[in-house]
Amino acid sequence: MHALYRPVAELIEKVAAEIVLPRYQNLTAEEISEKAADDFVTIADKESEIALVEGLSRILPEAGMIGEEASAADPSILDGAGQGLKWIIDPIDGTGNFAAGKPPFGIMVGLTDNGVPQAGWIFDPLDGRMCHALAGGGAFIDGERFSARESGAALPIVALPVYFLSAEQKAEIGRKAEASFTLVDIPRCAAEQYPRLALGQNDVALFERSHPWDHVAGALLLNESGGRLARRDGSDYVVGDGKSGLIGASSPRLWEKAAKAFVI
């Protein structure tokens, strides 16, 4: 695993135990707000990001910081996202679920070098599952190396974020999926969606938005376990490349199948 695996994992677990979980199902209305339509932030997101930034800056002082909440307040933070070493922080992924007092939600931390993912951590505070991946070094769950697997379903299972699509796009995808795929809802939590792909619960997931805090750790988890996460044109996911749209799959074979079918 990455040389910094243990100190980063311990920091994430500490933040989850001391900041995130005490607020779970314990938020007041004043502690929840909307950054944009259907895009929530809570006091726990803000406090978690502050603690993660402080801890990560001690672990690797030379790396810059890109946090979801800081970037929401100051979008110019993303201007240099593809330059140098950067910590990429999602203090609570799946905030809408967290704010509603239901799973799934998680904490995601990634490390990039000139936009290329180098290491990633995905933690589920409710069940204590820690996913980790290292560029060129494999993928791990709770310290054990694992390989991605397909669901084995008669029709590959595709998780689709329909709330980002127009009515015409939804209809077109439905037509393309007919008789070839089974469509399911996404969990609205990348910290859960990527493990679902790697562990064979879903076979394919389509992502319209590609914010770094949602995808750096997941991209490594999927690619290093033997699945595939790439742009629709087949190019690698690189932070700051200015592109949108991603396809993730539990195997390269299913990625190719989905890429041919789902060009939105």
Same domain, 18 and 60: yes
Report the binding-site residues. 68, 90, 92-93, 214
**Ranges 6-10, 31-35, 162-166: which has the least confidence:** 162-166
CA distance 142 to 49: 23
Same domain, 104 and 162: no
Decide if 151 is inside a domain: no
Contact of 133 with 225, CB cutoff 8 Å: yes
Same domain, 9 and 132: yes
Total number of domains constituting the chain:
2
**118 φ/ψ angles, rounded to the nearest 5 degrees:** -115, -35
Decide if 171 is inside a domain: yes
Same domain, 141 and 10: yes
Same domain, 60 and 121: yes
Query: Residue 36: is its pLDDT beyond 80?
Result: no
> Residue 163 is which amino acid?
Y
CA distance 29 to 160: 30
Q: Which domain-ending residue is among 145, 166, 197?
A: 145
Collect all residues with Cβ–Cβ distance below 8 Å to 259 and sequence separation of at least 6: 232, 234, 247
The pLDDT assigned to 27 comes to 97
Compare 173 and 144 and report the one with higher pLDDT.
Answer: 144
Decide if 76 is inside a domain: yes
Q: Which domain-ending residue is among 145, 178, 193?
A: 145
Same domain, 11 and 129: yes
Same domain, 130 and 206: no
Instruction: Please name every residue paired with 249 in a beta bridge, in sequence order, or none if there are none.
Output: 204, 228
pLDDT tier for residue 163 given thresholds of 50, 70 and 90: low
CATH of residue 167 = 3.40.190.80
pLDDT tier for residue 162 given thresholds of 50, 70 and 90: low
What is the domain range of residue 202? Answer: 157-261
pLDDT tier for residue 164 given thresholds of 50, 70 and 90: low
Contact of 67 with 91, CB cutoff 8 Å: yes
Same domain, 15 and 95: yes
Decide if 152 is inside a domain: no
Query: Residue 262: is its pLDDT beyond 90?
Result: no
**Tens digits of per-residue pLDDT, 78-122?**
999 999 999 999 999 999 999 999 999 999 999 999 999 999 999
Query: Residue 39: is its pLDDT beyond 90?
Result: no
HSE (CB half, 13 Å, CA atoms) of 215?
24
Secondary structure element (H or E) that encloses residue 34, with its range: strand 32-36
Q: Look up residue 74 and give its two tokens.
A: 């100051």
The pLDDT assigned to 176 comes to 76
Report the binding-site residues for Mg(2+). 68, 90, 92-93, 214
Same domain, 83 and 181: no
CATH of residue 80 = 3.30.540.10
Q: Which domain-ending residue is among 106, 121, 145?
A: 145
Decide if 19 is inside a domain: yes
Query: Angle at the Cα of 91 (from 86 to 94), degrees rounded to 5?
Result: 125
Same domain, 42 and 121: yes
Query: Residue 166: is its pLDDT beyond 80?
Result: no
